[in-house]
Amino acid sequence: MSTTAPEVPDAVSGLGGWLDDRFHGARGFRTFLKKVFPDHWSFMLGEIALWSFVILLLTGTFLALFFVPSMSDVTYHGSYTKLNGIQMSQAYQSTLRISFDIRGGLLIRQIHHWAADLFMVAIMAHMIRVFFTGAYRKPREVNWLIGIVLFTLGMLEGLFGYSLPDDQLSGAGLRILEGVVQGIPIVGTYGAYFLFGGPFPGNSIVPRMYILHVLLIPGIILALITAHLFIMVHQKHTQMPGLGNTENNVRGQPFFPYFIAKGQAWFFFIFGALVVLATFAEINPVWLYGPYTPVAISSASQPDFYMGILEGSLRVFPAWEWNFLGHTVTFSVLIPALVPIGLVFTGAALWPFFEQWATGDKAWHNINDRPRNAPIRTATGIAAIVFYGVLWAEGANDVIADKLQVPLYTITWIARVMVFVGPAVSFWLTRRICLGLQRKDTMELAHGYESGIIRQLPNGAFIEVHQPLSDSARAVASARKEVPVLPSAGSVDVNGVRAPAGAGLLGRARSAANSAFTETVAPVETNGHGSGSGSNGHAAVGSGTEELPQGSDSH
């Protein structure tokens, strides 16, 4: 036996045997090693988030070795001489020590902060990719919901993390948090006093945020990432439409050795990019802000980008407040703090189920949609991005006003209008563009693509030569699936049976949604056109037959 396969070193096969004796792993592990990973650039976005999280754990552990999560007052005497003699908390003092007295401390601190921002950017980009390709559809709805929870936790984790140094900038953020909590009806003042251990700022918030930041929230994030990955492995990846890709297969390269090597390369690239940023792009120089005091503030105070939507919502909202029966409800705090972000996240969470309801589509989907082939979804996604983006940009309205030399209030008024108009216009525009692109696909399938070759015919006329699409381009262009038209509300079929979507309000709403979802372009009339092969004067060059044997691979 040992003579037939000498390639495996004894140590490895011995260890493998030892493990298999105990875990019966040969079969399952072999399947896992052979697991197919489809290849597409956009599939790397989620990986960026994953590797950023790993880097956050590594750098965060280093920082925790030196950070002192205490708000006890000390007088600073240290390497950053400009703050000598200043009263500050131990949290701020130890952050200065990490930055100026621990070798590599500043680098690790800046890697940690950049990695947190990259983590959030990557989740955002990954969610946008998943949304626009419809990868959240059955059977992957649960992973979509986990993703939304991860993003929310990431916001909270980031807020607590950048508030830990107890510097002037982040303290202003906590003050805003306190103001928002205090504004909650009935329980607000209690909530604020419990959160801060008494009046703001107190001396409890840093140690409390610390334990949430280093243990509870990352623990939950880690558990959810694990679940996210296990579900993904179990359900197998989605894949992009392409020649030979079907709903019932998955094509790509195996996990071992290909994906391991690629994942390793990607990890090093991401880590390397973060170190480049940490080296050359200063982030959160807390020593310049000084220790926190509720008396002072600097202008152009912006939170990290993922909190920008909250900041912008607070800035854009008009002054609405109700006083009645001796009570105050401050809508100008409550609505901006809860509604816009609630709309985006709740909308995102409900969308897969809304889409199933509107389309009646309960099938599983392993081939991703091209965004153009789902105009309503794509338009809704773009509208949501514009809504989010306007509020996000408004979070820096003072910086924009300063850079563009436009009055501050003008910027805010533009945002107040754009937050409604922007999504509506972009929805309409995106839907038109999607339908136009569908039309282009249909035309190309029927007549071939415009080759750019101009040819003069014997009769003197000029034509542009249309070339038939390649097999792989055809497979992509023809990937659109019609959304089934549900019987309209209250309609009666040939047997006199009423449509299950009743004539009630909900039934009519479903009918309307369904007719929006089913809107598509009509297939191009190809009668007599010979599918782009010459008879109509398109003079397809070198096209043999357009018949496509499914699954024949031409690369």
User: How many C-beta atoms surround the C-beta of residue 219 within 10 A?
Assistant: 11
Residue choice 267, 305, 357, 449 for contact with other proteins (CB under 8 A): 267
Q: Closer CB to other proteins, residue 174 or residue 384?
A: 174
For other proteins (CB under 8 A), the number of binding residues is: 130
Residue 505 host element (H or E): helix 505-517
Residue 69 sits in the site that holds other proteins (CB under 8 A):
no
Torsion sign across C-alpha atoms 300, 303, 309, 314: negative
Nearest-angstrom CA–CA distance, 8 and 25: 17
Q: Closer CB to other proteins, residue 98 or residue 434?
A: 98
Strand, helix or coil for residue 297: coil
User: How many C-beta atoms surround the C-beta of residue 75 within 10 A?
Assistant: 11
Nearest-angstrom CA–CA distance, 481 and 377: 14
**Binding string, 234-253, against other proteins, x = CB under 8 A?**
-xx-------x--xxxxxxx
Q: How far is the CB of 346 from other proteins (least distance, A)?
A: 23
Selection from 271, 35, 237, 49 nearest residue 147 by Cα: 49
Contact indicator for 317, 415 with CB cutoff of 8 Å: no
Q: Closer CB to other proteins, residue 76 or residue 151?
A: 76
Q: Which residues pair with 73 in a beta bridge?
A: 89
Interface with other proteins by CB under 8 A: which range of 127-135, 186-194, 507-515, 524-532?
A: 186-194
Q: How far is the CB of 136 from other proteins (least distance, A)?
A: 15
Q: How far is the CB of 493 from other proteins (least distance, A)?
A: 29
**Binding string, 296-325, against other proteins, x = CB under 8 A?**
xxxxxx---------x--xx-xxxxx-x--
Footprint of other proteins on 21-40 (CB under 8 A):
21, 26-27, 30-31, 34-36
Residue 204 sits in the site that holds other proteins (CB under 8 A):
yes
Interface with other proteins by CB under 8 A: which range of 198-206, 426-434, 521-529, 531-539?
A: 198-206
Residue 400 sits in the site that holds other proteins (CB under 8 A):
no
Residue choice 95, 99, 163, 380 for contact with other proteins (CB under 8 A): 99
Interface with other proteins by CB under 8 A: which range of 76-84, 220-228, 338-346, 508-516?
A: 76-84
Torsion sign across C-alpha atoms 499, 500, 506, 510: negative
Residue 363 sits in the site that holds other proteins (CB under 8 A):
no
Footprint of other proteins on 371-390 (CB under 8 A):
none
Residue 74 sits in the site that holds other proteins (CB under 8 A):
no
Residue 190 sits in the site that holds other proteins (CB under 8 A):
yes
Nearest-angstrom CA–CA distance, 148 and 191: 25
Residue 41 sits in the site that holds other proteins (CB under 8 A):
no
Place of tokens 């006093």: 193
Q: How far is the CB of 175 from other proteins (least distance, A)?
A: 5
Place of tokens 């991703």: 368
State yes or no: cis peptide before 207, omega within 30 of 0.
no
Residue choice 87, 152, 346, 470 for contact with other proteins (CB under 8 A): 87
Footprint of other proteins on 486-545 (CB under 8 A):
none
Residue choice 68, 88, 120, 180 for contact with other proteins (CB under 8 A): 180
Residues 6+ apart with CB under 8 A from 499: 486, 487, 488, 489, 490, 491, 492, 493, 507
Strands (E) in 118-217, as ranges, are none
Residue 293 sits in the site that holds other proteins (CB under 8 A):
yes
Footprint of other proteins on 111-170 (CB under 8 A):
139
Place of tokens 């940009």: 393
**Binding string, 45-64, against other proteins, x = CB under 8 A?**
--------------------
Q: Closer CB to other proteins, residue 83 or residue 385?
A: 83
Residue 7 sits in the site that holds other proteins (CB under 8 A):
yes
Footprint of other proteins on 206-235 (CB under 8 A):
235
Residue 452 CA from chain centroid, whole number: 38
Nearest-angstrom CA–CA distance, 153 and 55: 17
Residue 193 burial class via C-beta count within 10 angstroms: exposed 0-12, middle 13-18, buried 19 and up? middle
Selection from 124, 99, 89 nearest residue 309 by Cα: 124
Residue choice 40, 262, 416, 529 for contact with other proteins (CB under 8 A): 262
Q: 138-161: buried (b, 16+ CB within 10 Å) or exposed (e) per residue? A: eebeebbebbbebbebbbbbbbbb
Contact indicator for 442, 524 with CB cutoff of 8 Å: yes
Footprint of other proteins on 406-435 (CB under 8 A):
408-409, 412
Selection from 354, 385, 347, 352 nearest residue 369 by Cα: 352
Residue 86 sits in the site that holds other proteins (CB under 8 A):
no
Q: How far is the CB of 305 from other proteins (least distance, A)?
A: 17
Q: Closer CB to other proteins, residue 319 or residue 505?
A: 319
List Cα–Cα distances, 512 to 134, 298, 423, 518, in angstroms: 21, 51, 20, 10
Contact indicator for 70, 55 with CB cutoff of 8 Å: no
Nearest-angstrom CA–CA distance, 312 and 394: 5
Q: Closer CB to other proteins, residue 7 or residue 547?
A: 7
Footprint of other proteins on 330-349 (CB under 8 A):
330, 332-333, 336
Q: Closer CB to other proteins, residue 317 or residue 392?
A: 317
Residue 184 sits in the site that holds other proteins (CB under 8 A):
yes
